[in-house]
Chains A and B, each alone.
Chain A
Amino acid sequence: MSMAAEFLYFVASVLFIVGLRGLGSAETARRGLIISEIGMAAAIAGTLLHPDIVTYKWILVSAGIGSAVGVAMAALIPMTKMPERIALSHCFGGLAAALVGVSEYSLHHQSVSHSTMAALGFEVLFGGLTFTGSLMAFGKLQGFIPGRNITYRFQNQSNIVMFAGAASLLVLLAIWPSVQFLFYLMFCVAMVLGVLIVIPIGGADMPVVISLLNSYAGLAASATGFALDNNVLIIAGALDGASGFILSVVMSRAMNRSFSNVLFGAFGKVDPGAAAALAGSQEIHEASIGDAAMLLSSAQKVIVCPGYGMAVAQAQHAMQKLAEHLEAEGIEVKYAIHPVAGRMPGHMNVLLAEANVPYDQLKELEEINDEFADADVALVVGANDVVNPAAKTNPASPIYGMPVLNADLAKTCIVLKRTMNPGFAGIENDLFAMPNTVLVFGDAKDTLEKISQALV
């Protein structure tokens, strides 16, 4: 590698870290982004100097197409589809890493050293797994594949066997790098494993899955760095891996799942017995649009609890309009954001920011949970499990111990719901049957608009 390329890679690595630091606050985030973009440009420039590159024609064609697709995707994808877009980009990231690994191996399988082989093996293993796993996650989010958890007998056992198989193939390859059959078999096993790991996972667990796949994509990129002996790849991959790791931990904590539970993908399991035992015994109080408008207009303080239902109904703009009306009457409005509300980390924040809600109104769980007690109305928009008081009170509940928003402690709780069906986890919600809770049925966007009209 030439000195110039080395230097550019070094600059890129530093700029990536400095840029990521900018994301520590909303004020500095865009500056951080620009710094990282410069870093990326430096890394690409450094690579184009590589002596092995003899022709630019294929690079120009594919980078041209890729950039055009990237621009189109970035400009056209609605914010409600962000989880799908992120899943798809993990998929591309995994595939790219895996293909670079396969290409390297196909060229050097006769001469590759044991340690480089181990790195290539990791690269293809994580890359393949991330590729198909993310594709499955994308399919589930889009609805191509049933979003509910799909389970079959001996699922965990067969996954463990497959995983052990892939790991043994990796070890064998490190010992005998030139046996091509082992390499391609391992690639296939990794891809099948990606499908099998994600298939049992229900939609409500998507935030964890997406974070985990983020981490795997990073590890695949890092492994590429080891295989190609390239530090900027190792560093960028490690940053990506660390980010996915942290998000997985945050998400699993917010769902009260142990980390080992998350690492091995054995999540998404709900005991149907416990859920069924609670079902069918609830008496609820239904309210009209007028009642809801009355409750809201006589309040001093309203806390909104948004959930995935808000994203599905595209109700974020209607919500913001309603909040505007309330604030014009001198009513205080805040938003309580649960870490796993929605289908990916931070999903609700982005949706509400898009609807022009100032970010100082968006409060994290720990920050706002004590305020519910002196709120007049908790307005639950398309959220379910994250406001279920059973998590605090009922040890038999599958979500017992999960930190939840204290919507039940507000003087009145207004729940906007499409139907009386239980939430994604299939659990009955005690909140809906509490004496201080009223339910307004209907499409959330429609309901919010009508409440706004009733207020005028």
Chain B
Amino acid sequence: MTHEMFLGLYVFVLAAFVGYGVIGGVPPLLHTPLMAFTNAISGISLVGSLVAAGSEHTTFSTTLGFIAVLCSSINVVGGFLITDRMLKMFRKRGGNKT
């Protein structure tokens, strides 16, 4: 295993624990927005797909990259917007919507 791979494992494990701690604090009230939110964040696979779509190595890899960018951008844009749409609906009694 390479050194980079090990560093990656450190990052992964630490991030998983941070995620566990942070997300454990999300109330069940917001579980649906949470799912839409993390969906949007996992659209970060854009980072990989943009490179695949933009580097003209082979037609095959560009085509796959193209589809991957399509999928990830739907998730990023759609995910953030729908999370916002949901969060706007949550309001306290007598108060304004958040």
Q: Which residues of chain B have C-beta atoms less than 8 A from A242's C-beta?
A: 15-17, 19-20, 23
Q: Which residues of chain A have C-beta atoms less than 8 A from B33's C-beta?
A: 23, 29, 346, 350
| Binary flags per residue of B32-47, CB closer than 8 Å to A gives 1, else 0 | 1111111111111111
Q: Which residues of chain B have C-beta atoms less than 8 A from A113's C-beta?
A: 2
Q: Is A33 an interface residue (CB 8 A)?
A: yes
Contact of B28 among A29, A33, A107, A349 (CB under 8 A): A349
Provide the bound-state CA to CA distance between A357 and B92, in Å.
Answer: 8
Q: Are B75 and A20 in contact (CB under 8 A)?
A: no
Which label, helix, strand, loop or mixed, suits the secondary structure of the A interface? helix
Residue of A at shortest CB range from B89?
A: A353
Q: Are A40 and B80 in contact (CB under 8 A)?
A: yes
Contact of B37 among A17, A20, A229, A353 (CB under 8 A): A20
| Binary flags per residue of A64-81, CB closer than 8 Å to B gives 1, else 0 | 011101110111010100
Q: Is A277 an interface residue (CB 8 A)?
A: no
Q: Are A73 and B22 in contact (CB under 8 A)?
A: no
- What's the least CB distance linking B39 to chain A, in Å? 5
Provide the bound-state CA to CA distance between A79 and B24, in Å.
Answer: 24
Q: In chain B, residues 46-84, which have Cβ atoms closer than 8 Å to a Cβ of chain A?
A: 46-58, 60-62, 64-84
Please give me the 9 A-B residue pairs with the lowest Cβ-Cβ distance, nearest first: A66-B73, A346-B31, A242-B19, A70-B78, A70-B77, A53-B54, A74-B81, A345-B31, A346-B32
Query: Assuming A30-B87, A233-B44, what are 20 further A-B pairs, CB within 8 angstroms?
Result: A23-B26, A23-B30, A29-B90, A33-B37, A33-B83, A50-B51, A52-B51, A66-B73, A86-B35, A96-B43, A96-B69, A96-B72, A100-B68, A115-B2, A221-B45, A224-B48, A234-B12, A250-B28, A349-B90, A356-B91
Q: Which residues of B contact A (CB under 8 A)?
A: 1-2, 4-5, 8, 11-12, 15-20, 22-58, 60-62, 64-95, 98
